[in-house]
Chain A
């Protein structure tokens, strides 16, 4: 298989996987429990989820390392297990996809807030990502995926941490935006324009958005990114905004609906299409299907 870096230079959309978190809850993760702890004691669940997405046609499969930075793991007193937690996650996915899909290493927010409104120093954020990413890269992932970021300063530090370890590895960075009457902003006040320019300057190769929105808003967000960047774009949409029904969250967007709306994303030539919260292997399979139809049309 060619390297992901090479693949990214060629035409055509790559399909990534869907939600891990919501799948983990289905597999028995309890609310309040550390989602990465299962990497240590129930890694067969990781294999199961990877297999479902791999069979659904995902060309990029993510690791269960979203909260795998030592700062985040410290909230569950698991920071001393950082290396093992991250290594096991990669190994579980590798066992399933072998070299037939790319492995993307998920790196989510630290959960800490930077000074002056929070109490964490930039150096601490940089170092925490560096420690997590060192293991992920040593285990041979194909991409670092910094995701669900809301503070551009934290996202930039994470990209720089990845770049400080490897100048070659594809680095992807996505942020989560809220629709407001004045356009899209992250909860911390970052704009799409700012994200496009600062992530690019920090050394990201692929940028875009994940989480927080259903597919309709994501189309608007992707178009906005297009205005401000020439980098390849990644979109990982939620299956809508969860509706609380009898105390359980339900994600309303079906595979059919999301796929229909995604045609526009393919038309504007985004590079990676995947799912976030509430998306399932059925959503990924549906994405894959329209891509096939699309390429049949073109060639």
Chain B
């Protein structure tokens, strides 16, 4: 088994200690950060997601896997941030109201920071008011929303509707992401862009900032 396969395996076992150890090892072996992230950590987490969906495993197992995921992400974070040259622009990011999933959102925040943007992370369970109040107060150009549940997706529309009511729509850019979303849905609710993952979020925000 390669170190990357083992990393995915240990994440699925929910073992934070081994995941940290293997991530360190992979970094030392000069394996590409993106490979460690995509083929190791994210790949392991998606197996967990499938097994949970099939009711083969239950929430305690998913929670342990999430802990393990963070053990790896914490080590990758400084490396992802390294190239960052701050002040390319400000981005507000958060998981929408009712949604406690924050792994994907945190990853996107790290990648945006790494690309040189100033990121204000509002955490999870963020109300529409808080998104917009902060965007106004901080004079941020981009508002990024994450939702992992079909039941919390409609909150994104609420944020955009509220932005319309407050005259912020068109002035600020709204990007959305998360496993259950699609570009059709983003279009339907009036978001400026749907981002499949962290990389596409970085590309999109760069485009909005006029950086290509």
A residues apposed to B, CB below 8 Å:
32, 113, 116-118, 150, 178, 180-182, 185-189, 244, 247
23 chain-A/chain-B pairs, Cβ below 8 angstroms: A32-B97, A32-B127, A113-B63, A116-B64, A117-B14, A117-B59, A117-B61, A117-B63, A117-B64, A118-B63, A150-B59, A178-B55, A180-B55, A181-B54, A185-B55, A186-B58, A187-B59, A188-B58, A188-B59, A244-B150, A244-B151, A244-B154, A247-B157
Give chain B interface residues in 155-172, CB to chain A under 8 Å: 157
Nearest B residue (CB) for A178: B55
Bound-state Cα–Cα, A182 to B61, Å? 18
Bound-state Cα–Cα, A117 to B57, Å? 14
Bound-state Cα–Cα, A247 to B61, Å? 31
Shortest C-beta distance, A18 to chain B (Å), equals 22
Q: A180-B55, A182-B55 are in contact. Are A189 and B151 (CB under 8 A)?
A: no
Shortest C-beta distance, A233 to chain B (Å), equals 24
Bound-state Cα–Cα, A189 to B14, Å? 16
The 8 Å CB contact of A187, one of B54, B58, B150, is B58
Bound-state Cα–Cα, A128 to B67, Å? 26
Shortest C-beta distance, B61 to chain A (Å), equals 8
Question: Which chain B residues border A185 with CB–CB below 8 Å?
Answer: 55, 58
- B60 CB within 8 Å of chain A: yes
Shortest C-beta distance, B202 to chain A (Å), equals 31
Contact with A along B33-76 (1 / 0, CB 8 A): 00000000000000000000011011111011001000000000
Shortest C-beta distance, B180 to chain A (Å), equals 13
Residue of A113, A117, A188, A244 contacting most chain B CB atoms (<10 Å) = A117
Question: Which chain A residues border B67 with CB–CB below 8 Å?
Answer: 117
Question: Which chain A residues border B58 with CB–CB below 8 Å?
Answer: 185-189
Q: A180-B55, A181-B55 are in contact. Are A188 and B151 (CB under 8 A)?
A: no
Nearest A residue (CB) for B158: A247
Question: Which chain B residues border A187 with CB–CB below 8 Å?
Answer: 58-59
Bound-state Cα–Cα, A180 to B51, Å? 12
Bound-state Cα–Cα, A185 to B57, Å? 10
Question: Which chain A residues border B150 with CB–CB below 8 Å?
Answer: 244
Give chain B interface residues in 12-27, CB to chain A under 8 Å: 14
4 more CB-based (< 8 A) A-B contacts, given A113-B63, A117-B61, A181-B55: A117-B14, A189-B58, A189-B60, A189-B61
Shortest C-beta distance, A237 to chain B (Å), equals 21
Question: Which chain A residues border B61 with CB–CB below 8 Å?
Answer: 117, 189
Q: Are B60 and A188 in contact (CB under 8 A)?
A: yes
Question: Which chain A residues border B63 with CB–CB below 8 Å?
Answer: 113, 117-118
Residue of B14, B59, B64, B157 contacting most chain A CB atoms (<10 Å) = B59
Bound-state Cα–Cα, A189 to B127, Å? 31
Shortest C-beta distance, B129 to chain A (Å), equals 10
Bound-state Cα–Cα, A180 to B57, Å? 11
Nearest B residue (CB) for A249: B151
The 8 Å CB contact of A117, one of B54, B60, B97, B151, is B60
Bound-state Cα–Cα, A113 to B97, Å? 20
Q: Are B154 and A247 in contact (CB under 8 A)?
A: yes
Shortest C-beta distance, A73 to chain B (Å), equals 17
Shortest C-beta distance, B207 to chain A (Å), equals 31
Nearest B residue (CB) for A246: B154
Bound-state Cα–Cα, A105 to B58, Å? 29
Bound-state Cα–Cα, A188 to B57, Å? 9
Bound-state Cα–Cα, A140 to B127, Å? 39
Question: Which chain B residues border A244 with CB–CB below 8 Å?
Answer: 150-151, 154
Bound-state Cα–Cα, A118 to B154, Å? 29
Give chain B interface residues in 87-132, CB to chain A under 8 Å: 97, 127
Question: Which chain B residues border A182 with CB–CB below 8 Å?
Answer: 55
Question: Which chain A residues border B60 with CB–CB below 8 Å?
Answer: 117, 188-189
Shortest C-beta distance, A229 to chain B (Å), equals 22
Question: Which chain B residues border A189 with CB–CB below 8 Å?
Answer: 57-61
Nearest A residue (CB) for B125: A32
Shortest C-beta distance, B126 to chain A (Å), equals 11
Question: Which chain A residues border B127 with CB–CB below 8 Å?
Answer: 32
Question: Which chain B residues border A150 with CB–CB below 8 Å?
Answer: 59
Nearest A residue (CB) for B52: A187
Bound-state Cα–Cα, A117 to B63, Å? 6
Bound-state Cα–Cα, A113 to B60, Å? 9
Question: Which chain B residues border A32 with CB–CB below 8 Å?
Answer: 97, 127
Bound-state Cα–Cα, A189 to B64, Å? 14
Question: Which chain B residues border A247 with CB–CB below 8 Å?
Answer: 154, 157
Question: Which chain B residues border A186 with CB–CB below 8 Å?
Answer: 58
Shortest C-beta distance, B67 to chain A (Å), equals 8
Bound-state Cα–Cα, A186 to B58, Å? 8
Bound-state Cα–Cα, A178 to B59, Å? 12
Nearest A residue (CB) for B64: A117
